[in-house]
């Protein structure tokens, strides 16, 4: 599968990702997904178009890629027929490959995906009455080793590219059948318009959370560039208010995340004392609670109408006492944080060193936080029947034979295309 070796982890507590090249495509073509419009225009210019034509074509192609979700240049009906093969000879429209997909009885869907150079990662879609949330990965594996997290048991293989990150959202739209139908009358220099009304919908997938595999702030630039395409009105057009980035507490990158991306922030707090957080989120030994909560208080854009979410995984007998709940309220108030708390029942995985707090304990904990004036919903476990904990699908799949996975991948691709 992968033709790149596992990367060495340079440290134990704060192993900053070493940038590593993605294996280049063997056909030498450039994947346009993940590139800003200006870069697409530059590439068209380098390939021989004059500046004006390059800019116009880039605008048209960008619209087809992100508004209509086409995966073939041949489908770009307002681009001259002779131009379409010219594009196809030089460029591709990428999507992560689907290795395996699972559909839970509660509507949760989970995909095991593969990069063009053979690395596997995950994506999950969670629908409820009012929204549909896509959980997006930022890295293959993770350099951090949170003790309750299954991804934390894997080594970091590499950062995902902007194309592989925004590609997850596009793949979800493909699978959910959410690209607008109809033509683009009035857009660009139509030369063989086919007629019909262009309507934009997208009701199923309404929210995005960067809570899949990996630490998004250790792949900051790629995550930023991908989310800019997701938020771009000419791109996928999702409001920044519907996007949440979750970090385990990479303090030095938090201000930049607020300034350069501006999405909602979620922080994986999980403990209220140095001792416990040092153990379960080892990054705490590098950036402690005081530094973390100070950075949260300074997060650009946080306010009472845009609260910071503090994630708190409930581990039986570790961090779930009444005193922990009271200390949590005290800390959030001490730093004057516009906060809400998300209580997550621990999702067990084989060999995990922790157990799930009993429902009664979770309820009592939630009540104390709520009585302290802080909203504390308990996140209902979803997709329990489909290996829901992050990283489990990847591990389960690794036990299957390579031939079986390749066959599954071909089937899924055929079903989609």
Given the residues 122, 164, 215, 311, the one annotated as active site: 122
280 binds ligand SAH (CB under 6 A): no
Tokens 């946080």 belong to 302
Least distance (Å) between residue 145 CB and ligand SF4: 6
For residues 292 and 269, give the distance between their C-alpha atoms in angstroms, rounded to a whole number. 9
Please give the DSSP secondary-structure letter assigned to residue 378: B
- Binding to ligand SAH (CB under 6 A): which residues in 299-318? 311, 313
Kindly provide the b/e burial profile for residues 361-388, where b requires at least 16 CB atoms within 10 angstroms of the residue's own CB.
bbeebbebbeebebebebbeebbeebbb
> 118: phi > 0 → left, psi -120 to 50 → alpha, else beta; which?
left
Least distance (Å) between residue 248 CB and ligand SF4: 4
Q: Which stretch binds ligand SAH (CB under 6 A): 9-17, 114-122, 186-194, 339-347?
A: 339-347
60 binds ligand SAH (CB under 6 A): no
Q: Are 141 and 390 within 8 A, CB to CB?
A: no
Helices and strands, number each (H, E), in the chain = 12, 13
Q: Which stretch binds ligand SF4 (CB under 6 A): 90-98, 138-146, 156-164, 362-370?
A: 138-146
Q: Are 277 and 267 within 8 A, CB to CB?
A: no
Least distance (Å) between residue 314 CB and ligand SAH: 8
392 binds ligand SAH (CB under 6 A): no
97 binds ligand SF4 (CB under 6 A): no
Least distance (Å) between residue 245 CB and ligand SAH: 8
For ligand SF4, the closer of residues 207 and 219 by Cβ is 219
DSSP H helical ranges for 211-358: 220-231, 254-260, 274-280, 289-297, 322-334
Determine the distance from the C-alpha atom of residue 351 to the mean position of all C-alpha atoms in its chain, rounded to a whole number. Answer: 26
For ligand SF4, the closer of residues 244 and 268 by Cβ is 268
Q: Which of 54, 123, 149, 184 binds ligand SAH (CB under 6 A)?
A: 149
Number of residues that bind ligand SAH (CB under 6 A): 17
Q: Which of 144, 243, 251, 332 binds ligand SF4 (CB under 6 A)?
A: 144
For ligand SF4, the closer of residues 94 and 383 by Cβ is 383
**Partner touching 44 among ligand SAH, ligand SF4, none, CB below 5 to 8 Å by kind:** none
For ligand SAH, the closer of residues 154 and 313 by Cβ is 313
Question: What are the C-alpha distances in Å from 410 to residues 34, 109, 306, 407?
Answer: 24, 19, 43, 5
Q: Are 132 and 106 within 8 A, CB to CB?
A: no
Q: Which stretch binds ligand SF4 (CB under 6 A): 141-149, 198-206, 219-227, 351-359?
A: 141-149
For residues 26 and 99, give the distance between their C-alpha atoms in angstroms, rounded to a whole number. 21
For residues 159 and 375, give the distance between their C-alpha atoms in angstroms, rounded to a whole number. 34
Q: State yes or no: is 149 an active-site residue.
A: no
214 binds ligand SF4 (CB under 6 A): yes
Given the residues 135, 146, 149, 390, the one annotated as active site: 390
135 binds ligand SF4 (CB under 6 A): no
Q: Could you write out the DSSP letters of every residue in 186-242?
A: TSS--SS-----------S--EEEE-SSS-GGGSHHHHHHHHHHHH-TTTT---GGG
Question: What are the C-alpha distances in Å from 303 to residues 52, 229, 330, 337?
Answer: 43, 25, 19, 8
Q: State yes or no: is 122 an active-site residue.
A: yes
For residues 31 and 36, give the distance between their C-alpha atoms in angstroms, rounded to a whole number. 12
For ligand SAH, the closer of residues 64 and 121 by Cβ is 121
342 binds ligand SF4 (CB under 6 A): no
254 binds ligand SF4 (CB under 6 A): no
Q: Which of 91, 220, 299, 346 binds ligand SAH (CB under 6 A)?
A: 346
For residues 142 and 150, give the distance between their C-alpha atoms in angstroms, rounded to a whole number. 10
**Partner touching 120 among ligand SF4, ligand SAH, none, CB below 5 to 8 Å by kind:** none
For ligand SAH, the closer of residues 65 and 112 by Cβ is 112
For residues 186 and 188, give the distance between their C-alpha atoms in angstroms, rounded to a whole number. 7
Q: Which stretch binds ligand SAH (CB under 6 A): 2-10, 158-166, 186-194, 343-351?
A: 343-351
386 binds ligand SAH (CB under 6 A): no
Residues engaged in binding ligand SAH (CB under 6 A): 146, 148-150, 211, 215, 246-248, 268, 311, 313, 344, 346-347, 389-390
State the catalytic residues: 122, 390
């Amino acid at each position: 599968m992968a033709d790149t070796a596992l990367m060495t982890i340079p440290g134990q507590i704060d192993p900053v990702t070493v940038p590593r090249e993605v294996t280049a495509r063997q056909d030498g073509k450039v994947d346009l997904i993940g590139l800003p419009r200006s870069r697409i225009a530059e590439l068209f210019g380098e390939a021989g178009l004059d500046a004006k034509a390059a800019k116009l074509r880039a605008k048209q192609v960008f619209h087809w890629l992100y508004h209509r979700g086409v995966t073939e240049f041949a489908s770009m009906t307002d681009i001259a027929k002779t131009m379409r093969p010219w594009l196809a000879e030089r460029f591709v429209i990428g999507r992560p490959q689907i290795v395996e997909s699972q559909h839970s009885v509660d509507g949760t869907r989970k995909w095991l995906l593969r990069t063009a150079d053979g690395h596997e990662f995950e994506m999950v879609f969670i629908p409820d009455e009012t929204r549909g949330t896509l959980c997006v990965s930022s890295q293959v594996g993770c350099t951090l080793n949170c003790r309750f997290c299954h991804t934390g048991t894997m080594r970091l293989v590499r950062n995902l590219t902007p194309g592989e990150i925004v590609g997850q959202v596009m793949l979800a739209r493909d699978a959910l059948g959410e690209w607008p139908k109809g033509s683009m009358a009035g857009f660009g220099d139509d030369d063989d318009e086919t007629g019909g009304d262009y309507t934009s919908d997208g009701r199923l997938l309404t929210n995005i959370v960067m809570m899949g595999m990996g630490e998004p702030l250790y792949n900051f630039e790629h995550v930023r560039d991908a989310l800019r395409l997701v938020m771009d009105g000419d791109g996928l057009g999702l409001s920044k208010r519907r996007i949440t980035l979750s970090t385990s507490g990479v303090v030095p990158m938090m201000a930049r995340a607020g300034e350069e991306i501006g999405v909602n922030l979620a922080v994986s707090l999980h403990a209220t004392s140095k001792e416990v957080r040092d153990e379960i989120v080892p990054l705490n030994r590098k950036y402690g609670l005081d530094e973390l909560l100070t950075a949260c208080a300074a997060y650009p854009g946080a306010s009472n109408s845009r609260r910071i979410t503090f994630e708190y995984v409930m581990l039986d007998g570790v961090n779930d006492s009444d005193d922990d709940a009271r200390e949590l309220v005290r800390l959030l108030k001490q730093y004057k944080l516009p906060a809400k708390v998300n209580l997550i029942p621990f999702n067990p995985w084989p060999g995990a060193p922790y157990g799930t707090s009993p429902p009664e304990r979770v309820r009592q904990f939630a009540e104390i936080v709520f009585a302290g004036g802080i909203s504390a919903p308990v996140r209902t476990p979803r997709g329990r029947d489909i290996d829901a904990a992050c990283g489990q699908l990847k591990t389960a799949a690794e036990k299957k034979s390579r031939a079986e996975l390749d066959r599954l991948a071909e089937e899924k691709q055929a079903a989609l295309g």
